[in-house]
Amino acid sequence: MYKRLLVAAIYVWLFCSLPATAQQLQLQPGFNPKEYEQLLRLTAFQADTPWTKVVVPYPENCNLVYRSPVVGMENRWDLWLWNNQVAIISIRGTTGTATSWLENFYAGMIPATGTLHLNDSTNFHYKLAQDSSAYVHAGWTLGMASMAPDIVSKIKAYYQKGIHEFIIMGHSQGGAIAFLLRSYLQYLDDPAFPKDIILKTYCSAAPKPGNLRYAYDYDFITRDGWGFRVVNPRDWVPETPFSLQTTNDYTAVNPFRDVKKALRKQKFFIRLAVGYMYGRLDRSTKRASRRMQRILGKMAYKQAGKAVKGYERPDFVNSHNYTPAGSPVILYPQPGYDEKFPFDGKNVFVHHMFAPYVFLLKQNYKLD
């Protein structure tokens, strides 16, 4: 009798000592349409955004346990508990204010590792990728930085309460910030931050968060079904920001990075002709990239600095090669979609709202 009790106690102790990944998880890898529908519901309850023009049922078995103050450039996030087992970090998208829109247009690229001077008393150190050639969007990094310490604090607190599984969710601008937040938590240099938590990320209707090197890193850390970007092909927002690839964006071993070196063994007239054409193409794209950095980075910073008092201009990089990140989930329009959501030439956000995403989710995955 006592021997059986001892064996049972040992099994219980071993099970409780296992990391979360070895126990029975509530979250599973892979895109879960019902899970995403639930996330759309709770994101729609983040009031005062233009994307809430749809009536959805209240999220099932979910409780809103925390709403952050408005910080940064009109940024805010909610914390929900789902079945008292999974915590959901829901990041608000663009609001109707000029400051919130400015965050989107503040699209100069900055290194994915560095420090932001947010005000006279706060330096925010961040690492969003391993590769030193990874670059990210300045505005959304600022938005993420304004919320990250609060988010980290709440993750620690709920981890101590037994919550070891977290979903990061955002729609539109919220989705762009969700990318960066997931990367930030991956590389957070904080011994007190739990290393065995489970993180799953849904970036819905999200723009492109960084360059190709950043996208490679994000896709690697969320591999095997733990990070998704959900896209309606009719929606133009995932096409943004403006993107331009130059030879500076190529990897070092790419022969097109310096064609002149490859032409040295060619005959004179071949070197002259090819070198001329290459130069015309190369110089024009680099010039356009510098112009984008000047307008969307340095000039936009002047307005961002007014919105966030004490925020100092970061070091912009000479690149504007924005690339999608995350495993794609394409909610492809089926017959009847365009009749339900017609574009009249003026309603430019008709395909970006929650309603078409919910409709397409049900069309593509046969949900009730």
Are 72 and 147 in contact by the 8 Å Cβ rule? The answer is yes
pLDDT at 25: 72
Please name the residue that has the structure tokens 């936009």.
Answer: 300
Longest dimension (CA), the chain: 94
pLDDT at 54: 57
Please name the residue that has the structure tokens 């024009």.
Answer: 284
C-alpha–C-alpha distance, residues 230 and 283, integer Å? 36
**In this model, does residue 14 exceed pLDDT 60?**
no
The pTM is what?
A: 0.89
pLDDT at 282: 77
Query: Which range is least confidently modeled, 52-66, 138-152, 259-273?
Result: 259-273
pLDDT at 259: 65
262 Rama class: left (phi>0) / alpha (psi -120 to 50) / beta: alpha
Q: Check if CATH label 3.40.50.150 holds for domain 26-365.
A: no
Helix (H, G, I), strand (E, B) or coil at 368: coil
Q: For residue range 35-70, what is the model confidence (pLDDT) as tens digits?
A: 999 999 988 877 666 655 556 677 888 999 999 999
**In this model, does residue 23 exceed pLDDT 60?**
no
Cα 58-61-62 angle, rounded to 5 deg: 70
pLDDT band for position 269 (cuts 50, 70, 90):
low
pLDDT at 279: 64
pLDDT band for position 201 (cuts 50, 70, 90):
very high
Q: Where are the domains of the chain?
A: 26-365
pLDDT at 47: 60
pLDDT at 57: 73
* Helical H segments across 77-205, by residue range: 98-105, 138-160, 173-186
Q: In what order do the strands lie in the sheet with 322-323?
A: 109-111, 135-137, 210-211, 322-323
**CA distance readout (Å), 284 to 117, 249, 277, 287:** 34, 14, 11, 5
What count of other Cβ atoms lies within 10 Å of the Cβ of residue 72? 22
C-alpha–C-alpha distance, residues 216 and 237, integer Å? 21
Q: What is the mean pLDDT of residues 93-108?
A: 95
Are 198 and 168 in contact by the 8 Å Cβ rule? The answer is no
Percent of the chain with pLDDT over 70: 84
Q: For residue range 40-49, what is the model confidence (pLDDT) as tens digits?
A: 998 887 766 6
What count of other Cβ atoms lies within 10 Å of the Cβ of residue 56? 17
Helix (H, G, I), strand (E, B) or coil at 352: coil
Q: What is the mean pLDDT of residues 229-253?
A: 94
pLDDT band for position 106 (cuts 50, 70, 90):
very high
DSSP state of 255: G
256 Rama class: left (phi>0) / alpha (psi -120 to 50) / beta: alpha
- Least Cα distance to 180 among 325, 320, 67 occurs for 325
Mean pLDDT score across all residues of the chain: 88
